[in-house]
Structure 1
Amino acid sequence: MSATRKYVRLLATAAAAALLWGVAAESRAANLFELNFWLSGPRYDAVVPLCEESWPLLQIQEAFAEKERRFWNSELKIVGFERVHEVKFMPWASGTIPRRFCSGRVLTNDGHARTIHYSIAENTGFAGASTGVEWCVVGLDRNWAFNPSCKMARP
């Protein structure tokens, strides 16, 4: 018998043993790794903070200041929020990522009040492990990520 045939026979035997072991293995609960990475589909709880809660607004303030400082060499900061309200909650088909769309006005340290549109979404934060916030301040979308006039930040 040639070496190639022996190698193929050895691989086939190993594959059959692995298959039989997998079928005969006892069932067990999924471990933490499997829960995070091997789910067959999305399972959302629709637990999303309200528009007026302090956590999303603080996230926006911090991210806005960092973006202005790092990318635009600006000292512009958000110093306050007003007229914050919900626009839509989960506006798309069921099974999609739960999102709460919000709008309002921000007051910046240059004395201007500008419109802001933002969304708070479940499991869209760092590595999908937390709630995420995406935002756009009308007139300050300098890289045009949500152009035109922050339209892409709305539902």
Structure 2
Amino acid sequence: MRMSIKKFGLAALGAMFGALVLGSPAQAANPMELNFGLFGPKYDGRLKPCEAALGTITSQFQEKESTFWNSALQIKAYGAVHEIAFRPWQSDNIPRRYCAADVMLSDGKLRQVYFSLIEDGGFAGFGQGVEWCVTGLDRNWANSPDCRGAKP
């Protein structure tokens, strides 16, 4: 008696599932569902010059070195700041300005920093974002080798 009730229950459950899945055909979207409420960023390509990112790089570098690497390294000075590329790919992509600069670190070594300013790339898409890499100090290999991932 028990087996037949279980079999009947499973059969009924299978029949209900089949009726739900196969019961009605899919319908096309109605006119209100087509492109209704779709909006997104309209990239203008208005990015600040390379020098505008230096303060952000300095503070983020110091925070990363002290927090993750237990290091007292800091960026002390910048030189030869220049743009490498602006929107190097199709114009439909998120606008980026790629830059490079020489940096003097607190240990007295001169290194290169490669960075990019990204339109609407800040926290939660507000403001300009900055991605950067200091050659020789990419310890987690996020842009390896030799900061190639931070270049266009």
Length-normalised TM-score, structure 2: 0.74
The answer to whether 1:72 aligns with 2:89 is no
1:99 to partner: Cα distance: 0.3
Which AA in structure 1 matches 2:42? R
Q: Is the Cα–Cα contact under 8 Å of residues 85 and 102 in structure 1 kept in the other structure? A: yes
Task: Measure, in 2, the Cα distance between the counterparts of 1:130 and 1:59.
Answer: 13
Tell me, what secondary structure is at the counterpart of 1:80?
A: strand
| Count of aligned residue pairs for this structure pair | 121
Gaps in structure 1 of 5+ consecutive residues? 1-18, 24-33
1:52 to partner: Cα distance: 2.2
Structure 1 runs (4+) greater than 4 angstroms displaced: none
Q: Is the Cα–Cα contact under 8 Å of residues 42 and 95 in structure 1 kept in the other structure? A: no
| Structure 1 segment 35-50 matched on structure 2, within 5 A | 38-39=38-39, 41-50=40-49
User: 1:137 maps to which residue?
Assistant: 134
CA-based RMSD: 2.0
Any idea what the Cα deviations from partners look like across 1:95-146, whole Å, max 9, x if unmatched?
A: 1100000011111111011011000010011000110000000000000000
The answer to whether 1:60 aligns with 2:71 is no
Which AA in structure 2 matches 1:121? I
Which AA in structure 2 matches 1:106? V
Tell me, what secondary structure is at the counterpart of 2:50?
A: coil
Length-normalised TM-score, structure 1: 0.73
User: 1:90 maps to which residue?
Assistant: 87
User: 1:27 maps to which residue?
Assistant: none
User: 2:21 maps to which residue?
Assistant: none
Which AA in structure 1 matches 2:118? A
Any idea what the Cα deviations from partners look like across 1:78-108, whole Å, max 9, x if unmatched?
A: 0110011000000010111000000111111
Counterpart selection for 2:145 from 134, 137, 148 = 148
Task: Measure, in 2, the Cα distance between the counterparts of 1:52 and 1:59.
Answer: 10
The answer to whether 1:104 aligns with 2:106 is no
Tell me, what secondary structure is at the counterpart of 2:51?
A: coil
Structure showing greater radius of gyration is 2
**Identical-residue share of aligned pairs (%):** 48
Any idea what the Cα deviations from partners look like across 1:25-59, whole Å, max 9, x if unmatched?
A: xxxxxxxxx7xxx51x5410111111123xx1000
Task: Measure, in 1, the Cα distance between the counterparts of 2:98 and 2:141.
Answer: 19
User: 1:124 maps to which residue?
Assistant: 121
Gaps in structure 2 of 5+ consecutive residues? 1-29
